Amino acid sequence: MTPNDLKYAFGETPQRVKNCVARSLRAQERSRTIMKKKLSISLIAAALAALLLIGAALAVSQTGLLASWLGVYNAKTGEIDPDGSLAGAIQYLDRSVEGSALRCVVTEALYDPDGGTYSLAWRYEPLFEGDTLYVVCSSPTFGGEFTDTIMGMNDCECLLTGPVGCSTFGHLPENGGTLAAMTFSVYRVKGEIEHKNVDDFAKPGMTDEEINMAFETWFRSIVAEGRLNMEGDGVLTPIWWDKEAGGSFEETLVRAGLLERVEELALEVDIGAMSLPVEKVMAGPAEFTFENGDSIRVNSLSVTPMIAKIEAEYITSQPQRFDDAEHGLCIFVRSPHETQSYGCNTAFDEPVQEEDGRLHAICHIQASPMRDTPDALELKIVRYEGGEQELIGTAVIELADKED
C-alpha cells in the first residue's frame, strides 16, 4: 500500500451528510438561522433543566410558552417561581395575521437590551380541521438585519395538523431596532405523512451507519411512492434537491406534487415595550489564584435573566494550549445552587507570553438562559488533556445590582 491508497479508508459520503449540506443551503437561501438537526449538548442540558424545573409539557397554551420553554425559577432558593424576574418581564401580546389556511399569532416577547438578547413565542393555528400544513418561517429581522439565534423550537420549519407553539431566543440586532418582522410561507401537504425516526431502524448489532442506511433506503422508497416523513419534532426529513435545476427545497417538493403552495403571510411586532428589569454586575474586583499557581482575573461580568457575559484573563505558568481539541481549559458557569448549571460557550483569544514567561489569555464566556439573576456565580475551571481531566479550581463571584 502507498499513501495514495489512503482514499480507500473512506467510504461513499452518506446521504445524511449531503442532507446536512442541503439544510444549510436552504437555511441560507431563506436568509434565516439554521435549524440544527441536533441541538448542542449544552443547550439540550439547559433546555432539559428548564423543563424539569417547570415540570410542564411544551404543549400549546394561550400564554406561558416562553416561561415553560426558558424556565422560571428563583436563583436564591433554586425553586420554581412563576413571578421571578424573567417571568415578570414577559410581554403578553396578541399580534396576528390570518390567511386562507393558517392563523399565526405572536403571543409573547422578552426584550433584554442590557444582555443584547430577545425571545419571541408564536403559535400556528390551522383554520381547517384535517389540513396538514408545512410552514417555513424566516427568522425575525429587525430593520432588515438578521441576527444569530441561540436556540429555538419549531422556529424554522414545522409540519402541523393542529395548533403548534414556536419560540426563538437570539441576539438583538446591532442597529438597535425593536420591530421584529417575520414571514411565514405556508404549504399544504399533498402526500401521506409517515412518522419515523432513524432510531426506529436500529436493531441489535447494527452500526450507526447501517442504521442510517436502513433509514435512507426506507425513506427513498416512500418518497418514490409520494409520501413524506416527519421526524419527531415537526421537521420534514430533507430530500436532496438539484440546485442546478433552480428553486428552493420547498419548490422542489411542490414540483414533485408533494406540497402545494398556499400563501405567504407576514407580520411585524414591536418587542421593545418592556425591558427586562434586572441586571447584575460583579460586586468588586475578582481575582483568584489556584493551588497550581494558575490565576483568573475577571474583568467584567454582567448578568440579566437571559444571559451572563463574562470577560476574564487567565494566567498560567504551565506551557499549555488553551482550547485545542486534545488539550485545554473548560470553564463552566454554575449558580451556587447545585441544581443549576447553564449552557455556556467559552472562547480564548490567542495567548500572549508575559515578561516573566507566563502565558496570558483573554477569555470570553457566555451562559444562557439564566432565568434569574443570582447573587453569585461560580466558575469551575477544568483542564483536559487527552481523556484526562483535572479540576484546577472554582471561583465564586459575588454579584450586586447594577447602579445607573
Partner 1 sequence: MTKEEFERRLIDMQDTMYRVASTILNRSCDREDAIQECVYRALRKRASLKSDDAMRGWVIRILINECYAILRRAKRECLSDELPEAQPRPDPGANEDVFRALFSLGRDLRLPLVLHYVEGYSVEEIARVLRVPAGTVKSRMNRARKKLKLELEEEANG
- Binder among 235, 332, 376, 402 for partner 1 (CB under 8 A): 332
17 binds partner 1 (CB under 8 A): yes
Judge contact between 35 and 155, C-beta under 8 A.
yes
235 binds partner 1 (CB under 8 A): no
CA neighbor of 376 nearest in space, from 401, 398, 395: 398
Q: How far is 113 from 278, CA to CA, in rounded Å?
A: 11
Q: Whole-number minimum distance, CB 294 to partner 1, in Å? A: 17
Q: Whole-number minimum distance, CB 72 to partner 1, in Å? A: 24
> Restricting to residues 278-297, which ones interact with partner 1 according to CB under 8 A?
none
Q: Which of 79, 324 has the CB closer to partner 1?
A: 324
CA angle 102, 106, 110 (to 5 degrees): 160
245 binds partner 1 (CB under 8 A): no
What residue type is assigned to position 205 of the chain? G
Q: Which of 25, 362 has the CB closer to partner 1?
A: 25
Name the residue with cell 498560567.
316
Q: How far is 202 from 193, CA to CA, in rounded Å?
A: 21
Backbone angles phi, psi at 252, to 5 degrees: -60, -45
Question: In whole angstroms, what separates CA 141 from the centre of its chain?
Answer: 17
Judge contact between 168 and 119, C-beta under 8 A.
yes
> Residue 224 burial (CB < 10 Å; 0-12/13-18/19+)?
exposed
Task: Convert residues 32-51 into a mask of x (bound to partner 1 by CB under 8 A) and - (unbound).
Answer: --x-xxx-xxx---------
Q: Whole-number minimum distance, CB 204 to partner 1, in Å? A: 16
Q: Whole-number minimum distance, CB 29 to partner 1, in Å? A: 9
Q: Which of 8, 355 has the CB closer to partner 1?
A: 8
Task: Convert residues 290-329 into a mask of x (bound to partner 1 by CB under 8 A) and - (unbound).
Answer: ---------------------------------xxxx-x-
Q: How far is 20 from 223, CA to CA, in rounded Å?
A: 18
9 binds partner 1 (CB under 8 A): yes
DSSP state for residue 323 in the 8-state scheme: B
> Restricting to residues 159-218, which ones interact with partner 1 according to CB under 8 A?
207-210, 212-213
Whether the CA torsion 181, 185, 186, 192 is positive or negative: it is negative
Q: Whole-number minimum distance, CB 150 to partner 1, in Å? A: 14
Residues near partner 1 (CB under 8 A): 1, 3-14, 16-18, 20-21, 23-25, 27-28, 34, 36-38, 40-42, 207-210, 212-213, 243-244, 323-326, 328, 330, 332, 382, 384, 387, 389
